[in-house]
Amino acid sequence: MRLDKFLKVSRLIKRRTVAKDVSGQGRVILNGREAKPSSTVKVGDEITVQFGQKLVTVRVERLQETTKKEEAQGMYTLLREEPIPKQEFEW
């Protein structure tokens, strides 16, 4: 399954166009490497997504073409959710 479709179907990101944009901007890491929207996702893969000032890492548990809202979280396991450290600037 394509990465952008998985992000949308699993409801990690609400719209596929947004999922495509986010991964196209380099804000998605798949198994330790920067991922493109068309990257293939398999069961067991780890995905890290940058949402604003936090990083969310999940492990893919199940692939489905469509899912109901209540079943979407069963497609992944949340591994980590951590803030991105603020960079200190020298003036």
Rounded to two decimals, what is the model's pTM?
Answer: 0.86
Domain map (residue ranges) of the chain: 3-83
Distance CA 33, CA 47 (A): 9
All residue ranges of the chain with pLDDT < 50 are 88-91
- Alpha-carbon distances, residue 67 vs 16, 72, 73, 87 (angstroms): 14, 6, 10, 39
In CATH, the number for domain 3-83 is 3.10.290.10
Average pLDDT over the chain, rounded to an integer:
91
- Per-residue pLDDT, 91: 47
- Per-residue pLDDT, 89: 39
Length of the chain: 91
